[in-house]
Amino acid sequence: MIKTVLTVGALAVAGFGAWMILAPGSKSPDQVSTDKGAPLAVVTVPDRLSPEATMGKKAFETVCVDCHGDNGSGRNGMGPPLVHKIYEPSHHGDESFQRAVALGVRAHHWRFGDMAPVDGFTRADVKTIITYLRELQRANGIH
């Protein structure tokens, strides 16, 4: 009985690890660069962004890109990809992004360290960034 439970547990952990690596917006293990700052996800950018998402892209590129990479692709050793299943709306709602910017956030899904609060953004600014990220997520099969 204990052996069965351990086997099932090991399979569950392995399955979760594979899901994390191969989830939409992620690179396969043979595509991930070990270079610091390298992108962690391949992100498909939609042909058009809404006007609000276009403003959000510009705001994202002022600060967020430094850690979260171009188009939210993440940066190895620096910050997680935001175009990733972990950040889908049903798991990380819009308010979680608002709170992360305003208050910072403790590392809990990734090993990049804590995120400090980000100065200079209003809630309206962050809303445009969220719109941008959600449009990228949808373009990458993350709903």
List, for residues 49-85, the tens digit of each pLDDT value. Answer: 999 999 999 999 999 999 999 999 999 999 999 999 9
Low pLDDT (below 70) residues in the chain: 1-32
Q: How many H helices and E strands in the chain? A: 5, 0
Architecture of the domain made up of 2-139: Orthogonal Bundle (1.10)
Q: Crossing angle, helix 123-139 and helix 51-62, to 10 degrees?
A: 110
Q: Which pTM value belongs to this model?
A: 0.78
Domain extent listing, the chain:
2-139
CB of 59 closer than 8 Å to CB of 65: no
Distance CA 87, CA 108 (A): 12
Amino acid at 70: D
Q: For residue 129, which of 73, 63, 85 has the smallest C-alpha distance? A: 63
pLDDT of residue 57: 98
- Mean pLDDT (the chain, rounded): 85
